[in-house]
Amino acid sequence: MILLTFNIINPDRIFENTGALKSEEILEITIQNTKALLRSLESQEILATFFIEISLIAHLDKLVKKIINDGHEISFYNIDSTIEQIELIKKNTEDLIGKQIRGIRMKEAAFDLSTIQSLRFTYVSLIEETALIFPFKRFERKAPYTEEHGLSILHDSISPYSQIPYNDFVFQMIPLSYYESMVIETIKKDEFVLVYLNSWQFTDFEKLQFEIPFYKKYRSGKKLQDKVDQFLIWMNENELASARIKDFAV
């Protein structure tokens, strides 16, 4: 089982905007990046989970409705919101889409899990750090899926043999054929693999002026979009099952 997920985060939340782009322009870039992903998913009839940054979601009503209408799942991505902000945005978003928001992606120990459960979340996807020295080797392997305080807890998937985690940077950098081999071996070991990418990775950083590390700019934009398309085609050709997280973590 492949759990395909995308984080929707404005790049100015992560990188310095040296070109002084207006917030509306950056928001439009994020929207267009996400719509391109939705077209790719639709063409291959694959469903995914979209984690939207909490401070951003109130500005994306039309995009949120499109994601839901296309059959995908909406969850939250927390960077620095308070519990009170999360509770308010959760209620407003659920009123907008007429569905329960079941998941949140956050750093480990950002909030007490009992508090998260009290807000009627059913699962937590934990954020791992992706510094340059981090992504390719990590020898401490956590259980990929546990249950605590009535919540399903998902850690980053890790290839059982190469020990390479499935973070955004790894998908962007390593050859697709090797990544596909990782997916197969991980499914055999863990029965599922959690894959994620960020919307900002599909931005054309050659045209837009952001202060971004060279290794995060490498093979981004259209090159990464093409790679995602190839990966989705490969999933279907190999008849690999996929699911939204809410359908898996029940």
- Architecture in CATH for domain 2-248: Alpha-Beta Barrel (3.20)
Instruction: Band the pLDDT of 133: cuts 50, 70, 90.
Output: very low
> What is the pLDDT averaged over residues 228-245?
97
pLDDT at 44 over 90: yes
Q: Are strands 49-53 and 193-198 parallel, antiparallel or unpaired?
A: unpaired
φ, ψ at 85 (rounded to 5°): -65, -40
pLDDT at 16 over 90: no
Please state the domain extents for the chain. Answer: 2-248
pLDDT digits (tens, 9 = 90+) for 77-110: 999 899 999 999 999 999 999 999 999 999 987 8
pLDDT at 154 over 70: yes
CA distance 49 to 75: 7
Q: Could you tell me if 83 and 76 are in contact, meaning their C-beta atoms sit under 8 angstroms apart?
A: no
* Sheet architecture: strand order including 73-77: 145-148, 151-154, 123-127, 103-107, 73-77, 49-53, 2-8, 193-198
- Residues with Cβ within 8 Å of 49's Cβ and at least 6 positions away in sequence, in order, are 3, 4, 5, 6, 72, 73, 74, 75, 103, 244, 245, 246
